[in-house]
Chain A
């Protein structure tokens, strides 16, 4: 039996189509040898790779309009296809519009340095947007990101980016992060506003993140950044490793784990020593407000420290409306790719909840 026949039987089996007992037995016999299993594995793996590659090319090169299930989410996005030329589409009026649109943005799209993917969306909640040149469209899982891209999240949206070196970047709700066009040269990201958490892999060149008045150079580490230009606040909290903060007034500070550097209204930098955050868990939501939650298990307590977007840096007091003593607060913890993993109810009179 050749591999095509084997895959044909397997395909019918997994699709729930008719397979004779004889075919099933021959497939089982064929898979009994390690050499055949290797060939079989290779074929299935190729199918997985095809699935990822073609979906990747779709999310990077085209804003889909044909897939019915996703149409509502993509209805406002521009239609582009650069991997394969849309001759058929051009024959229709809509196709002509696409063609004109494509031509007008061709310079942006074919500029060689922009074509290189530098990161990939590892997980997301909601529909964060990618802006590339004058185009903007919703991200999907596995969306590749290029130099020059701007990533923006709305309320209750978040995503994780995986850089090519293994660095993991969590972009919180209501945030805007730019991967500059010279990222490969300068290794510099720009947090325009919002919340980032970085788990930086060892790199040959140090990664940098710029805020309004402060630039952070990463010397190998895990840290959290907050930037709220509308209220003039910038903050870096270091969990592990070391970062160097360069401030626009020429001041330079090297932070050690647990230290937090805060700048308010372009004033002097305030350095505070706090217990390091251990696990960044995600978003906490209540009926009245939402905030970022960090769970500190450093002293065997399950302490929730909230970095409330509107009350930065209120880490020790939870602002979830005005709970009265004895009243329970329901917290919804969201962690990992897109899903709720844990529900917990905490008493309002708890040590950590005033």
Chain B
């Protein structure tokens, strides 16, 4: 989990590295939980664990990797405490999801991706954008969204999944300076 031999970093250095890698850890948490608010809470708790580890003299070499490992434990604890996601808590599937982040998680071109995503969001039809706003801006659960829109949670989940896939394609194309059409 990012620990090696060497000199312990001071809290200011760890804080800086944590803040610089914050979006990567948060991205991992949102990916696992699908709920930005819970993800933010667990991110805060992860920071606390990191600060405590520093106080105990534990050497943390790679702050993002250490934080992701800690965040995973906290997510598992969260699921256990809610008695939900039993299939996921200790599953091989969770290991594979973790592996996908370990293998691919870098800061490469993050700012460019963000700009591309902003442009793609600006092109979205109003109805599509309002679905994203409900989920990510307001932080509504699928059940609440379903109540508001009189649709089933599963249908909304699939709809959002398709929107994200399209957004991903749009971002990739913009990164290659190609035009993208939503039609």
- Interface residues, chain A, with chain B CB atoms under 8 Å away: 3-4, 7-8, 10-17, 19, 24, 27-28, 31-32, 34, 37-38, 40-55, 57-58, 66-67, 84, 122-123, 141, 160, 162, 166, 168, 199, 222, 278-281, 335-339, 341-342
Contacts and interface: CB of A to CB of B under 8 A. Distances in A.
Given A41-B103, A335-B11, A28 B55 contact: no
A52 B26 contact: yes
B96 A37 contact: yes
B48 to A, nearest CB: 5
B168 A53 contact: no
B20 A166 contact: yes
B104 interface: yes
Given A8-B158, A45-B27, A53-B114, A337 B105 contact: no
A4 B31 contact: no
Given A11-B161, A14-B88, A168-B15, A42 B168 contact: yes
Contacts, number: 177
A4 B121 CA distance: 19
A222 B12 contact: yes
B179 interface: no
Given A44-B27, A54-B132, A67-B139, A278 B10 contact: yes
Interface string B160-177: 111011011001000000
Contact of B100 (A24, A41, A336): A41
Given A28-B93, A58-B137, A166-B16, A15 B10 contact: no
A3 B166 CA distance: 11
23 contacts: A4-B158, A4-B165, A10-B97, A11-B34, A14-B32, A15-B157, A27-B93, A31-B100, A40-B100, A42-B168, A47-B27, A48-B29, A49-B27, A49-B114, A50-B164, A51-B136, A53-B117, A54-B133, A57-B137, A122-B22, A123-B47, A199-B16, A341-B51
A14 B117 contact: no
Determine the main DSSP class of B at the interface with A: helix
B30 interface: yes
A279 B157 contact: no
B93 A4 contact: no
Nearest to A42: B168
A279 B165 contact: no
A55 B136 contact: yes
| Residue among A19, A84, A199, A336 having the largest count of chain B Cβ atoms under 10 Å | A336
B66 interface: no
B158 A3 contact: no
Given A8-B157, A46-B164, A336 B47 contact: yes
A54 B117 CA distance: 11
Nearest to B11: A279
Given A15-B34, A280-B12, A51 B101 contact: no
B119 to A, nearest CB: 11
A4 B162 contact: yes
B158 to A, nearest CB: 5
A38 B39 contact: no
B87 interface: yes
